[in-house]
Structure 1
Amino acid sequence: MASSARAMWVWVHEAAPPDPAAVAAFAAQQRVTEAFVSVPWGGPTAATHQCVAALRGKGVRVSALGGDPSWTTGTDAITWMQRATAAWLFDGVHLDIEPWTRRDWPGREQELLAGLERTVKDVAARTALPVEVDLSPWLADVHPAAFAAIVRRADAVGLMAYRDRATDILAGSASARRLIAEARKPYRIGVDTFPVPEPRETFADDGRAVLERELAAVAAQLAGDPRFAGVAVHDHQYWSALPA
C-alpha cells in the first residue's frame, strides 16, 4: 500500500444512517482509498448495502467494521464476521474491539489482551479476507509482549495514535511501530476528529487545514518505512463536519 493511502471509519448507525451519496462524495473529495463501514450484529442492512455501493462507485475499497470490548471471550466475533461477510460485500475485516476500555480492565490486562489475541486468530482462521485490528500505541510500551502477539495474528494494524500534532503522533507510536516492523506487518496511523475532553487527542478543535498539515507531516516522516500503509481518520461524521 502506498504511504499516501487514506482510510476512514464510517459508523452506519441503524437509527440514523449517513447519506450514502454524501459519504461517497466526501471520500472522493478527501482522497480516501479505503473505508471501514460498520456492520451491525445481525449482518448488513439495506443502509450497509447502500453505503458500500456508493463508496465502491467512487473506487473505494471497503472493509467490514465491527467490535465490542466483550469480544475477548466466546465466539461473538466469529459470529459477527460470518454474518457480515456472508453477502460478499467486503474486501476485508476491520476489528475495533478495545478491551482496554472495559471497567474491569485494571487487574485483568494480560487476560483480556490474551483474549484479544485469540479472537483475532480465530477470526482470521475463518475468513479468506485480510483482517486488520485497531490497537492503541501505548499498549506497546506497557504490554509489549501481548501487543506483539496480537500484531502477529493480524494481517494489518490500525494504530490509533490519537494526538493532534505530528511530533506527538510519531513519538507516541514509536514503540508500536518497532514491534510491528519486527512482525513484518503493515500498519496505518489513525487520528481522531471526535470531540473529547482532552483537546490534544483530537482534531475536533483544530479544523481541516491543521489536520491536513499534520497528516502530511506524519506521511513525510514515515514515507521511507515499507510497513507504513497510510493514514486513517476517525470518523466520517466528525471529519466531514470540521471547519475549513
Structure 2
Amino acid sequence: MASTARAMWVWVQESAPPDPAALAAHAAQQRVTEAFVSVPWGGPTPATHQCVAALRARGVRVSALGGDPSWTTGTDALTWMQRATAAFLFDGVHLDIEPWTRRDWPGREQELLAGLARTVKDVAARTSLPVEVDLSPWIADAHPAAFAEVVRRADAVALMAYRDRAPDILGLSATARQLIGQARKPYRIGVDTLPAAEPRETFADDGRAVLERELAAVAGQLGGDARFAGVAVHDAASWMTLGA
C-alpha cells in the first residue's frame, strides 16, 4: 500500500474542530497524500486555516470539501465554491452533494441526477481548480446514463464503495468503474470507518489491521487500472479513533 495514494475526508465541525497537529500527525502516519477539508457556507474559518496549514506542512494536498443535497438546483454550490476558494487555500474542490439522500428522491431520480451533473458543470466552469465529486456506486447500476453524465462533468470521482471486504468493495463498484473508465476520468475507492447500522458497510467494528488488509487487497486488484487514483477513508475523526 505504500505506493497507493491515500486521501481522507476531514469534517471541521465548528463546535468541535479537529486538533490541527493531531490531524496532520495522523495524515503522516497513515501516508495520506490528500485531504478533503470541509468549508462552511460562510467560507474558511480560523479552524479551516489551521487545519489546512498543518496538513500542508506535512506535504498533504488539500481540497475544499462541501455540499448539500439541495445543491442540485439554484446557485448555492457556486456561491459556496467562490467563498471557499477566495483565499487561495486549496488545490481542488470536492463536492459531496448526494441528492439520493433526499426524501423526495423516489420518483425524481433522473431530475435530481441531471441537476447534480449541471451543478458539477457550473462549478467546474467557474474555477480553475480540479473538481472531484462523491458518487455512490449503486447509482451506476440503477441509472447508468445519468451516472455517466455526472462523471463526464467532473475532473475526478470518489466512489463511496462502503463495504468492509475487498471482494464486496470491488463487486459494488464494478459497473461504476467501467463507466468511469469509458469517460477516461480518474477515480478513488472510498471506504467508511464511521459506525453504521449495517456492519458490512464500515470498518468501525473491524479495526485498523482489517482496514489495511482489505485496502491492500483492493489496491492489488486495481493496480493495473490506469484510472485508479488510490483509496480514500471516511472520515479522519473516526479513522483516528479506530481500534487496532
Q: Which residue of 1 aligns with 2:206?
A: 206
Counterparts of residues 33-182 of structure 1 (less than 5 Å): 33-182=33-182
Runs (4 or more) in structure 1 with deviation over 2 Å come to none
Q: Which residue of 2 aligns with 1:219?
A: 219
AA of the residue aligned to 1:208: R
**Secondary structure at 2:170's aligned position in 1?**
helix
Say if 2:231 is the partner of 1:196.
no
AA of the residue aligned to 2:160: M
1:167-198: CA deviation from partner (whole Å, max 9, x where unpaired): 00001100000000000000000000010110
Whole-Å separation in 2 of the counterparts to 1:50 and 1:19: 9
Bigger mean CA deviation after superposition, 2-11 or 211-220:
2-11
Q: What displacement does 1:3 show?
A: 6.3
1:149-182: CA deviation from partner (whole Å, max 9, x where unpaired): 0000000000000000000000110000000000
1:48-87: CA deviation from partner (whole Å, max 9, x where unpaired): 0000000000000000000000000000000000000000
AA of the residue aligned to 2:216: A
Q: Which residue of 2 aligns with 1:234?
A: 234
1:71-112: CA deviation from partner (whole Å, max 9, x where unpaired): 000000000000000000000000000000000000000000
1:21-59: CA deviation from partner (whole Å, max 9, x where unpaired): 000000000000000000000000000000000000000
AA of the residue aligned to 2:156: A
AA of the residue aligned to 1:167: P
Show structure 1 runs of 5+ residues with no match: none
Identity rate, percent:
85
Q: What displacement does 1:199 show?
A: 0.2
Whole-Å separation in 1 of the counterparts to 2:174 and 2:234: 21
AA of the residue aligned to 2:172: G
Bigger mean CA deviation after superposition, 27-36 or 3-12:
3-12
Aligned Cα root-mean-square deviation (Å): 0.8
- Please say if residues 3 and 228 of structure 1, whose CA atoms lie closer than 8 Å, have aligned partners that are also in contact: no
AA of the residue aligned to 1:98: E
Whole-Å separation in 1 of the counterparts to 2:220 and 2:73: 39
- Please say if residues 3 and 230 of structure 1, whose CA atoms lie closer than 8 Å, have aligned partners that are also in contact: no
Whole-Å separation in 2 of the counterparts to 1:54 and 1:240: 16
Q: Which residue of 2 aligns with 1:7?
A: 7
In structure 2, the CA distance between the partners of 1:183 and 1:195, relative to structure 1 (3 Å rule), is same
Aligned length: 243
- Please say if residues 192 and 233 of structure 1, whose CA atoms lie closer than 8 Å, have aligned partners that are also in contact: yes
**Secondary structure at 1:62's aligned position in 2?**
strand
- Please say if residues 155 and 185 of structure 1, whose CA atoms lie closer than 8 Å, have aligned partners that are also in contact: yes
Whole-Å separation in 1 of the counterparts to 2:21 and 2:40: 20
**Secondary structure at 1:190's aligned position in 2?**
strand
